[in-house]
Structure 1
Amino acid sequence: MTPSKLISILRARWSLVLLVVLLTTLTAFGVSLMLSKKYVATASVVVDAKPDPISALIYPGLASPAFMNTQVDVINSDRVALRVVRDLRLAEVPAIREQWQTATSGEGTIEQWLIAFLQANMDVKPSKESNVLTVAYRAPDPQFAAALANAFVKAYVATTLDLRVDPARQYAGYFDQQAKVALEKLESTRAKLSAYEREHGIIATDERLDVESNRLSELSSQLVALQALSAESGSRQGQAARGADQLPDVLSNPVVMQLKSDLSRAEGKLQELSTRYGDNHPQVIEAKASVADVRSKLRAEIGRVSGGVTVTNNINKQREGEIRAALETQREKVAKLKAARDDASGLMREAESAQRAYENITTRLTQTSLESQTTQSNVNILTEAVAPLKPSSPKILLNTALAFVASVILAVGLALLLEMRDRKVRDADDVMAVLPMLGVLPAPGRRASALPTAERRLLGNSARPSRGTA
């Protein structure tokens, strides 16, 4: 299909092409005029990514595409649409109820019908590389379109606040119950610790344990000292049993020393008198009696001193046994105190753990309580919708232009289809395709150079002597 042949076909069927173009264009123009006007009102909101005033944290997911798409789904949700219906009380408007009755014959609820109707005329678009959402509502009335766009924006802001506050309220209730349980556990643990300390005489500090430990150390020191004394007294008692005269106590005793001096003088005097007077002299007899008396006193004093060593040894042994028994008793007491202290330490750790758990829960309770009482959403209205002055549809010029282009394409296609069903000779090429030896004569007053290429070629072939004409 060459351009010249296409032009010849269109020229031959120009009336059909013109008719199709005019009918299609005029139909589109007329339909555009007959269509009801639609007005689009636009409002916008911005998602704020400032730090949370309660937790002081910045949520990086606020600016992500997934988060913005989630916000689009929230605006398009039935919850937001139902809030719009209830805020504007659309279900109470008689005209709307009449439309619902006509459209559904009373089946279903008017709120569900209104939700579907409102969602069908609303469009939400997130801005590229920003946190702005644009809400557009289309309606025949510009005031109604602006009211619905603003209503959807306000309902969306209120819904985001509810989505934030409702979980916080649920968590606050949960943490309130957990705080009560933790407080009961803390009080029970403290009561158990106090009862145990009273039962075992444990005070808040380790003072008593230190006193008992010091007493145990003192008893140990006393036992060591008494053991040394007992060993010494036992050694002296053994020496006294072997020979009391050589005891240090006997040798250092002043009475024994005095008696030994008296005995030496008496023996010296007896020897002197025996030498002078003989053994039977009264003075010698008296001197012998005096020596015997001194010796008797010396033996008695030595016996007394050695008996004191035995008594001292017995006393030391007895004191050692008493201190040893007191030491064992004190050891058992200190061991019991340490065991009680260990048990009390376990109870104290349990009480401290319960205290920390209670403090953590109360901290979370305070935080969630503050979050449940917040009145500020992270979504703010950027621009409110106003009633548009010009309708957004129908676009008469655009529809007419598109219809014109479509009609031209349709007309050309229809002409080609009809040509394929009824082939006719339109130009010289069609003639040459059937009778290649035929020639053509130019029209009167028309130069050969003004003829089409195919006709000039035919004229050139017919001018040759070897060719014939028909």
Structure 2
Amino acid sequence: MLPLSDLAAAIKQRLRIEVAVFVLVLAIVALMTLLSPKVYRSTSSLLFDEKPIDPVQDAAGGDRDLSTLLSTQAAVIKSDLVAAKVVQNLNLVTPDILSQWRAQTGGAGDVNVWFGSRLLNGLEVVPDGASRIVRVSYRSNDGAVAAQLANAFVKAYLDQKLELQTDPAKTYSRWYADRTREVRANLETAQAKLTAFKRRTGIVDTDSTNAETGRLTDLQSAVTSAEVGSADLGSRSANAASRSPDVQNSAVVSGLRASIASKSAQLSEMSVSLGPNHPDRRAAQAELAALNSRLASAIAEQSASINVASSAAESKEAELRRNLEAQKARMLTLAGERAEYDVLRRDVDSARASYDQVTQRLDAMRLSAAAPTAGVRQLDVARASVLPSEPNITLRLLLGLVLATLLAIGVAILLELARPIVRSAATLQEVTGVPVITSVNFTNSSTLDHLKPDKKAA
């Protein structure tokens, strides 16, 4: 085995060969790098909101599992739906592509989906849950195409995500629009029924009911008073009207009784002094008879007036009772109408509440359908890279330098082993087995010039 000093000397002496090997290997590596197919990578990034904003409620949504969200959205980006949208947006379907599609599928399916699935081969989506970022990269042999497709996938995803979020709202919006027309028709029908009922019955508000109740109360009081008056007059009429205090105490009857008493006293005096046929006595008797006749007539008239008053009171009581019964019937009818009115009014209130609720939900659905609520935005735009990502030129050149250096040193060592040269006293002693007495250094001696031709000849 050669000593390290001889190896170092051999490497130094064969420097030209080593340089040649080094340059050759490095040139081969560089040539292979230049001839290798170039693959360019362009990357765009998406930033997801930690808590999405609800445009309808104007508030942040609840907490969510971010890693699950990013993984799900990464799968959406790599879906055939997004890829087909990229093909549509970029108009990538050419006549040649159509021919290939028909040849492979027989025209079955969607050419956009078919060609989009081929584009997915160069797509790479990497979610980063720690930073709420998803990186979308595309690999192509053209840097501009890689950047274009990376940005196209991001745009198609953003459009598709917004569409996926707003489509349900649009569907519900159409449903609520139909429902709004239905509840509006119900409200109009209920209002029409209530209006027709008011027009037919005359009920407008609760004041009419209160007025009818007050009238019933007044009639009840009037009937009670009439009953008392009629009972009093009836009792007086039922007894001897002529002996009634009202008749006996009347002014006419009292005056006549006083006149009769006076005339009777005068007649008694005349009967003492005058005979039965005396003209004065007969005149007094005639006057007394006339007064008694007038008293009887007055009593009869007063009794008749009491009977008339009693009959009038009974008639009034009967009329009041009829009015009271009619008012009770009116109140019963009014109560039924009022109950029907309340039912119709509740129907209107219920229909109006349903209409207001459906209208409010319709407005909310329309706002949700129109509001940009994707909850994600593009953070970085992919740009065409100057250097390819594959092959890695810098890495290959570094590896080429290392390989060229190792091969150059290896060639020098192999040549040294194939044709060893004594380069030191230690090597000479090891080879011959004879001790070395001394050594001469010809490095700075002119003798070396004389020895060189002999060395070449040897």
Answer whether TM exceeds 0.5 for this pair. yes
Residue 304 of structure 1, CA deviation: 1.4
| Contact in 1 for aligned 2:161/2:374 (Cα 8 Å) | yes
| Contact in 1 for aligned 2:44/2:151 (Cα 8 Å) | yes
- In the alignment of these two chains, the number of paired residues is 370
Change over 3 Å in CA distance of 1:97–1:36 after alignment to 2 = farther
Report whether the alignment pairs 1:55 with 2:33.
no
Residue 153 of structure 1, CA deviation: 0.6
* 1:78 maps to which of 77, 80, 94: 80
Unaligned runs of 5+ in 2: 1-28, 403-432, 434-458
Residues 52-82 of structure 1: CA deviation (Å, up to 9, x unaligned): 3333132225664333333222212211111
Question: In structure 2, what is the equivalent of residue 181 of structure 1?
Answer: 182
Percent of matched pairs sharing the same residue: 32
Describe how 1:29-178 pairs up with structure 2 within 5 A.
36-48=37-49, 49-60=51-62, 64-92=66-94, 94=96, 100=100, 104=104, 110-178=111-179
Structure 1 Cα separation of the partners of residues 236 and 32 of structure 2: 140
Question: In structure 1, what is the equivalent of residue 22 of structure 2?
Answer: none
Structure 2 Cα separation of the partners of residues 294 and 400 of structure 1: 166
Structure 2 Cα separation of the partners of residues 31 and 61 of structure 1: 55
SS of equivalent to 1:136: strand
Residue 376 of structure 1, CA deviation: 6.2
Question: In structure 2, what is the equivalent of residue 462 of structure 1?
Answer: none
Describe how 1:241-320 pairs up with structure 2 within 5 A.
244-245=242-243, 247-320=244-317
SS of equivalent to 2:60: coil
Structure 1 Cα separation of the partners of residues 211 and 107 of structure 2: 90
Structure 2 Cα separation of the partners of residues 202 and 285 of structure 1: 81
| Contact in 2 for aligned 1:63/1:130 (Cα 8 Å) | no
Report whether the alignment pairs 1:217 with 2:217.
yes
Structure 2 Cα separation of the partners of residues 336 and 399 of structure 1: 108
Residues 383-421 of structure 1: CA deviation (Å, up to 9, x unaligned): 1111233333345859999xx9xxxxxxxxxxxxxxxxx
| Contact in 2 for aligned 1:32/1:394 (Cα 8 Å) | no
Structure 2 Cα separation of the partners of residues 101 and 295 of structure 1: 143
| Contact in 2 for aligned 1:36/1:140 (Cα 8 Å) | yes
Given the two structures, how large is their TM-score scaled by the length of structure 1?
0.72
| Contact in 1 for aligned 2:186/2:351 (Cα 8 Å) | yes
1:260 counterpart letter in structure 2:
R
2:230 counterpart letter in structure 1:
S
Change over 3 Å in CA distance of 1:262–1:107 after alignment to 2 = closer
Question: In structure 1, what is the equivalent of residue 334 of structure 2?
Answer: 337
Moved over 6 A (4+): 29-32, 398-401
Describe how 1:319-398 pairs up with structure 2 within 5 A.
319-374=316-371, 377-394=374-391
1:392 counterpart letter in structure 2:
S
Change over 3 Å in CA distance of 1:138–1:61 after alignment to 2 = farther
Structure 1 Cα separation of the partners of residues 288 and 397 of structure 2: 165
SS of equivalent to 2:53: coil
Change over 3 Å in CA distance of 1:351–1:304 after alignment to 2 = same
2:112 counterpart letter in structure 1:
E
Kindly report the root-mean-square deviation, in angstroms, between the aligned alpha carbons of the 2 structures: 3.0
Structure 1 Cα separation of the partners of residues 153 and 64 of structure 2: 21
Unaligned runs of 5+ in 1: 1-28, 405-444, 446-470
Structure 2 Cα separation of the partners of residues 88 and 59 of structure 1: 35
Residue 115 of structure 1, CA deviation: 1.7
Residue 265 of structure 1, CA deviation: 0.8
Structure 1 Cα separation of the partners of residues 370 and 278 of structure 2: 133
Change over 3 Å in CA distance of 1:294–1:105 after alignment to 2 = closer
